[in-house]
Amino acid sequence: MTPLILAVLLSVVSAVSYAGAALLQERLAVTTSPRRLRLLRSATWWLAAVLQGAGALLHVVALGYGPLTVVQPLGVLTLVLAAPLGAAVARRRVTGAAWRGIALVSAGLAGILLLTGAQGRTALTGGQQAVLAVAVLGAVVLLVAGSAPLVRTGRGGGGAGRARALRSVALALAAGVAYGAASVLVKTFAQTWTDSPLTRTVPLLALIALFAGAGLAASQASYRGGGLAAPLATATVANPVVAAVAGILLLDEGFRYGLLGALLAALAAAVTAWGLVVLTYDASARRARDGERPPPGPRPEDSVPFRARVGAADGRLALPEPGPAVRHRRDGDPHLPLAARVPSPAGACPEPAAGR
């Protein structure tokens, strides 16, 4: 087995792990309290964290065997797998709009990554690591702080759905930025850990852990009220875009084919944005349709002592014979059960006694 084939296989398994983690995070977000201590007591949360960690570890190993231009585009398989998997678990079909959005995002992201695959330096210097850390931490803090007012807006009436969607996208963007920076640092670690002293390796590992933890927390929060497709698409797009920008600015990487490659990359970015809009609109429309359905539970007529039924002979509404306590109360008494106060058709049941 060649190193390239091994890198492809590891990337595919990594994408499956990420998709499973995203699905568990969404289910956990809509079924549990957002308090972190309660999440730590959830086996589902720990399983999602294990799958997320396994996906990241497999991605790191794949980067050691294959080039960035091959490993990074395969990350779009996470998005392709997660939406159908979520639909299967929820027992609903994937809409045509969702399939179109997935195809557009996958094609656009793959085009961007393939076009920004020019090789440069393989590792960041200490100063470049500091610049990247400051820039990424600032971006993450701004995105998380900007999503806080949207939480209060999302609890209200008008515009609540839009506020929740914007909050979800902002947090997913923060997660993608953090994960993208972690990927750049992981690439640096994979290339330099055998030759670097501990004084440089330990701070690098600390930054990787910080960004990975921030990405995990932000991605978990992004699924609350935002569904699966839109936040996952946002994080999946932002991750490699941040890595590509860092590669261009800090590692002297560039677009393939010169100016033509730059124009094609811009076109691919537009296709990716279009797919993201399609996915976001489809997710919002599905949540709106689900909100119109009555919640599951007992039917109102199941709560009364006895139910009306249609007689088999004449099709008229027939009520069972009322009990003694009912016969000695008039129709309309507020203390009677609901079914006993409903006026019955003529001949359906004996009239209650006039006196008490």
Residues 6+ away with beta carbon under 8 Å from 34: 221, 224
**Bridge partners of residue 309, in order along the sequence:** 318
- Structure tokens given for 211: 């960004």
Asked if residue 192 and residue 61 are part of one domain, the reply reads yes
- Locate all alpha helices (DSSP H) within 34-125, ordered by sequence: 36-40, 43-65, 68-71, 77-89, 96-115
Going by pLDDT thresholds of 50, 70 and 90, the confidence category of residue 119 is: low
Asked if residue 214 and residue 334 are part of one domain, the reply reads no
Cα→Cα distances 104→51, 86, 173, 268, 271, Å: 26, 19, 18, 9, 6
Q: Can you say whether the dihedral through the CA atoms of 50, 32, 229, 238 is positive or negative?
A: negative
Return the pLDDT at 297: 45
pLDDT at 133 over 50: yes
Return the pLDDT at 301: 43
Alpha carbon distance, N-terminus to C-terminus of the chain: 93
Residue 116 phi, psi dihedral angles, 5° rounding: -100, 35
Q: What is the mean pLDDT of residues 232-236?
A: 81
pLDDT at 295 over 50: no
Share of the chain above pLDDT 90, in %: 16
Give helix 126-154 / helix 198-222 axis angle, nearest 10°.
20
Q: What is the mean pLDDT of residues 170-174?
A: 93
Asked if residue 326 and residue 195 are part of one domain, the reply reads no
Return the pLDDT at 308: 44
Cα→Cα distances 164→64, 154, 236, Å: 39, 5, 19
- Residue 180: alpha-carbon gap to chain centroid: 17
pLDDT at 137 over 90: yes
Q: What is the mean pLDDT of residues 237-258?
A: 80
Q: In the predicted model, what is the mean pLDDT of the chain?
A: 75
pLDDT at 186 over 50: yes
Return the pLDDT at 166: 85
Most confident of 108-112, 208-212, 269-273, 332-336: 208-212
Q: Quick check: is 159 in a domain?
A: yes
Q: Quick check: is 32 in a domain?
A: yes
Asked if residue 68 and residue 147 are part of one domain, the reply reads yes
Q: Quick check: is 78 in a domain?
A: yes
Asked if residue 223 and residue 327 are part of one domain, the reply reads no
Asked if residue 100 and residue 25 are part of one domain, the reply reads yes
Asked if residue 211 and residue 157 are part of one domain, the reply reads yes
Return the pLDDT at 205: 93
Q: How many domains does the chain have?
A: 2
Return the pLDDT at 37: 64
- Asked if 42 contacts 168 with a C-beta cutoff of 8 angstroms, the reply is no
- Locate all alpha helices (DSSP H) within the chain, ordered by sequence: 3-31, 36-40, 43-65, 68-71, 77-89, 96-115, 126-154, 160-192, 198-222, 229-250, 258-292, 324-327, 338-341
- The least confident of 19-33, 143-157, 273-287 is 143-157
Asked if residue 158 and residue 251 are part of one domain, the reply reads yes
Asked if residue 254 and residue 312 are part of one domain, the reply reads no
Q: What is the mean pLDDT of residues 157-162?
A: 63
Most confident of 85-99, 206-220, 341-355: 206-220
Return the pLDDT at 131: 92
Q: What is the mean pLDDT of residues 162-183?
A: 88
Q: Quick check: is 356 in a domain?
A: no
Share of the chain above pLDDT 70, in %: 70
- Residue 284: alpha-carbon gap to chain centroid: 13
Return the pLDDT at 134: 95
Asked if residue 307 and residue 228 are part of one domain, the reply reads no
Return the pLDDT at 307: 43
Asked if residue 335 and residue 248 are part of one domain, the reply reads no
pLDDT at 327 over 60: no
Q: Quick check: is 350 in a domain?
A: no
pLDDT at 206 over 50: yes
Return the pLDDT at 189: 87
Residues 6+ away with beta carbon under 8 Å from 145: none
User: Which of 253, 268, 292 is at the close of a domain?
Assistant: 292
Return the pLDDT at 155: 56
Q: Quick check: is 354 in a domain?
A: no
Asked if residue 244 and residue 156 are part of one domain, the reply reads yes
Most confident of 78-82, 118-122, 142-146, 193-197: 142-146
pLDDT at 177 over 90: yes
Domain range holding 310? 301-341
CA angle (318, 324, 328) in 5-degree steps: 95
pLDDT at 315 over 50: no
Give the residue with greater pLDDT, 107 vs 337: 107
Residues 6+ away with beta carbon under 8 Å from 127: none
Return the pLDDT at 171: 92
Residues 6+ away with beta carbon under 8 Å from 209: none
Q: Quick check: is 154 in a domain?
A: yes
Q: Quick check: is 27 in a domain?
A: yes
Whole-angstrom distance, CA of residue 65 vs CA of residue 8? 9
